[in-house]
Amino acid sequence: MSSLLRLKSPITTIAGSILLVLLGLVPVFAMLLDDPFMLTLFTRIVIMAIAAVSLNLILGYGGMVSFGHAAYIGVGGYAIGILAHHGITEAWIQWPVALIGSALVALLIGLLSLRTKGIFFIMLTLALAQLVYYLGNGAYAYGGDDGLTILQRTDFGGLLDLNDKETLYYLCWVLLVIVLWLTYRVVNSRFGMVLQGAKSNDRRMATLGFPVFRYRLTAFVISGTICGLAGILTATYTDFISPAMMHWTRSGDLIVMVVLGGMGSLFGPLFGAVTFLMLEEILSSWTEYWKIVFGPILLLVVLFARGGIDGAMVRGAAGYALTGLITLFLIYVVHYLWYDDWIPAAVVLAGAAAAILAIWYRQRREAVAIASAGGDHA
């Protein structure tokens, strides 16, 4: 199924827009529920969504499985942290330095890794990201592996006060909307067409006269820069940088978010980030050992629900997926009213299991239908 079709399928766009609006209303919910923690959680969700959207640009549309995207989060974050450490907090210095830094690192990593394909590309992006990770570990002047606390947040003059939680949240949210819009424009431009063409058959694109390597490299750098933006925001809202933010498992988390949501779909990574982090939040409030539930869920998604949430919506299991997602959000709110209660978590788990089973059943039926249709032709 072409990614264009997915982009234009109204159901995903509607669900994505609803989710974006709901996310925009989070500070209101937080105020109504008098729960400041909710805002912190959703700041994280929105920031990770930006990172996931950036990864989707090359993974979903370009077919480049970067297993080292956390490196750019690190570069963006370290740029802010290091400048703040030296007393430079002006936004007009910090942000450009961080963004250009991420772009340069992405350019270097892309130049080296894009020469390879398939599993070697995955491993090379991983290895180069590990290099950046150990660079952070060895940066003893900036805390080594203990990390560095940022004492003063970025100074936007009188324009924005980032110490205000709601201002910071809305900054992240607006940036997410901008990044989504930007991705939409890039993907539907001539550039985006070439990128998607190269994903399905790069030899064909090369034969048509497109310098595929350069197109891919450009996309790689754009993606890295946007991910650097997520790094800037991460450092700002945690007031802390450490090599842990670019550990390889963080890159794994990002891939999970993209695939869980649906690769090559505009809103896919947004669904993925929200689902991933909310599942984490709900499951971890349910049991300390939440990953023992989350790991198998991930396995089930890979085994039975390919195409992720977005794919499920397009394939017609929209009912399950859409209700699932919005219920997840509502249940989360309800969960706060019944604080410390296990019922909502159990409901979510049962729901997730039911949805996965339903999607699997549907795929089975479709596969059978396709097989028998193929038999007729033969």
Summarize as ranges the residues that interact with another protein (CB under 8 A). Answer: 65, 67, 112, 115-120, 122-124, 126-128, 130-131, 134-135, 137-140, 144-145, 248-249, 252, 255-256, 259, 289-292, 294-299, 301-303, 306
Write down the least CB distance from residue 181 to another protein, Å. 27
Write down the least CB distance from residue 288 to another protein, Å. 9
Write down the least CB distance from residue 130 to another protein, Å. 5
Contact in structure between 212 and 205 (CB atoms under 8 Å) = yes
CA angle 46, 216, 5 (to 5 degrees): 65
Q: Which CB, 77 or 136, lies closer to another protein?
A: 136
Write down the least CB distance from residue 188 to another protein, Å. 24
Contact residues for 111 (Cβ-Cβ < 8 A; gap 6+): 217
Q: Which CB, 130 or 188, lies closer to another protein?
A: 130
CA angle 255, 62, 219 (to 5 degrees): 95
Q: Which CB, 24 or 144, lies closer to another protein?
A: 144
Burial of 298 (0-12, 13-18, 19+ CB in 10 A): middle
Q: Which CB, 123 or 217, lies closer to another protein?
A: 123
Q: Which CB, 29 or 360, lies closer to another protein?
A: 360
3-class secondary structure, 85: helix
Q: Which CB, 38 or 129, lies closer to another protein?
A: 129
Question: Shortest CA distance to 224 belongs to which of 352, 319, 110?
Answer: 110
| DSSP for 151-210, written as a single string | -S--B-TTS--TTSHHHHHHHHHHHHHHHHHHHHHHHHSHHHHHHHHHHH-HHHHHHTT-
Write down the least CB distance from residue 303 to another protein, Å. 6
- 159 backbone dihedrals φ, ψ, rounded to 5°: -70, -50
3-class secondary structure, 296: helix
Q: Which amino acid is at 136?
A: G
CB atoms inside a 10 Å sphere around CB 97: 17
Write down the least CB distance from residue 124 to another protein, Å. 5
- Rg of the chain over all Cα atoms, to the nearest angstrom: 21
Q: Which CB, 140 or 339, lies closer to another protein?
A: 140
Write down the least CB distance from residue 117 to another protein, Å. 8
Write down the least CB distance from residue 144 to another protein, Å. 5
Q: Which CB, 174 or 292, lies closer to another protein?
A: 292
